[in-house]
Chain A
Amino acid sequence: MDQVKIYKELDLTSAGCAGPLGELNQVAGDLKEGEAVKVILEGKESKLLVESWAKKKGFKVLDVKEEGKKYVMLIAK
């Protein structure tokens, strides 16, 4: 975990037409080895959706923190 560099922080609590997965799909695709994207989501449903997406696409969920109604996740290649 200490080795991971955060490439980008994505606030997806209010994602537009690309939705949280559309935005994440793009940024995660640009990740290099040793990098992670920090994702902020609202609601458990979004968190589960991202976890399922990460599993299917072969990304690692390094960390999940609950902050009130929000979830902060670290996703790496």
Chain B
Amino acid sequence: MAKRIIIAGGNIAGTIVANRLAQKLDEELNKGEVEIVVLNKSEEHVYLPGQLLMAFGLETPGELVRKERSLLDRRIKFLHGDAGTMTKIDVENRQVITADGKPHKYDYLVISTGVEYTWEEVPGYKEASLTPYEFDSALKMREALENFQGGTVVINVAKLPHRCPVAPIETTLMLDDYLRKRGLREKTRIVYTYPVEGVFARPITNKMMKGIFEQRGIEVHSPFNVTSVNPNEKIIESQEGEKIKFDMLIAVPPNQGAKVIGDSGIGDRRRWVPTDKLTLRMKNHSDVYVIGDATDLPVSKAGSTADFESYVVANNLANDIKGNLGVKHYGGDVLCYIATGTDQATYIRFSYTMNESPPPPSYIHWWGKVMYNKMYWTVTAKANI
């Protein structure tokens, strides 16, 4: 009987790992000895990192969405709608239940359920804010920026960790540049608020970015742990006792793992799945791997993290089946481009054992960021590298 691998969740992590597995198990798939099934609620695949560019009018909505089916190796089964909406992940009985009531038995499971935004953790937050983290809100943000004529803009990160960790810095610096180019910077107060001291939690990047924020006249209020927002009076309040009045609030909502992780009782209190930092196996479950934003690892919740992890998960899972590939270890690798304006960027590349060394911002790295985004559909998602 064919061994069945279920990939619980599509999008960036699930798609890349599914395609990489198909390559590693090419012969077994062709002979019908292995079956790969991807479960995902939506039929569409949205490239989330591009939403920030869209919010500044630098990317069009159509560029950021593809059919998931079109990205997957043709031999991979894809179920969506009720048939792909997971209601329970039952690791004891090795099955995933979907909203149509069907149990999907597996021999191996890859959990790639990602992140959900828990806006309700902060009263008034969603009503009062715009965010590049949600597709529709990113479009509203584009419109709000087009109509903006000056005032106070607050950028707030509700909680750490969150996905695309450098995006709040990018949002702030792109906003500064965008307003300068429109002649509105002198009429605008930009206030950056962050839950821990500084503008970013890694010391090297923090030092560099703090310097840029200072040069650009951006106010930093940290630590600032938001407790509530009054959407009528447009005031954001922190646990530290600060109140800031704003004209526009750009928010990074609280992140938790997917609801199905909580409902299945397999995560911690924020629904992150306990994961071995090197093998990426779920702790105490040798037939389950975890990838991308779903893990409880203190690594960055970024698309590049999922891409780096996909080599390890695909190799180790294929090794479990074939037994001749050896075990790979994830080294904590991350690569993030950081836009420092609307036509300049730097990047950070680090791992468990190596610190980042960001180069001075330049157009070359901006070009790299744009190309990285463009190549996602044809290269990264299809696991062509």
Contacts and interface: CB of A to CB of B under 8 A. Distances in A.
Interface of A: 7-8, 10-23, 25-26, 29-30, 53
Contact of A14 (B160, B161, B201, B298): B298
Given A17-B165, A17-B201, A21-B201, A8 B299 contact: no
A18 B277 contact: no
A26 B299 contact: no
A17 B353 contact: no
B196 A25 contact: yes
B352 interface: yes
Main secondary structure of the interface of B (DSSP, over half): loop
Contacts of A18: 160-162, 165, 201, 298, 300
A33 B161 CA distance: 23
B298 A23 contact: yes
A23 B299 CA distance: 9
A26 B161 contact: yes
B256 to A, nearest CB: 10
7 contacts: A18-B201, A18-B300, A19-B160, A20-B298, A22-B160, A23-B161, A26-B159
Contacts of B288: none
B300 A16 contact: yes
Interface in B135-180: 159-162, 165-166
B299 A22 contact: no
B270 A17 contact: no
- Of the candidates A13, A17, A25, A30, the one having the most CB atoms from chain B within 10 angstroms of its own CB is A17
A17 B197 contact: no
Contacts of B332: 14, 16
- For the complex of A and B, the 4 pairs showing the least CB-CB separation, nearest first, are A19-B201, A22-B160, A17-B165, A18-B161
A14 B353 contact: yes
A22 B225 CA distance: 11
Contacts of B350: 16
B200 interface: yes
Interface in B338-379: 350-353
B270 A22 contact: no
A22 B300 CA distance: 11
B334 A22 contact: no
A19 B202 contact: yes
A11 B196 contact: no
A55 to B, nearest CB: 13
B14 interface: no
B195 interface: yes
B193 to A, nearest CB: 14
B269 interface: yes
B160 A16 contact: no
Nearest to B163: A17
A26 B161 CA distance: 8
A26 B160 contact: yes
B12 to A, nearest CB: 16
A30 B256 CA distance: 12
Interface string B24-49: 00000000000000000000000000
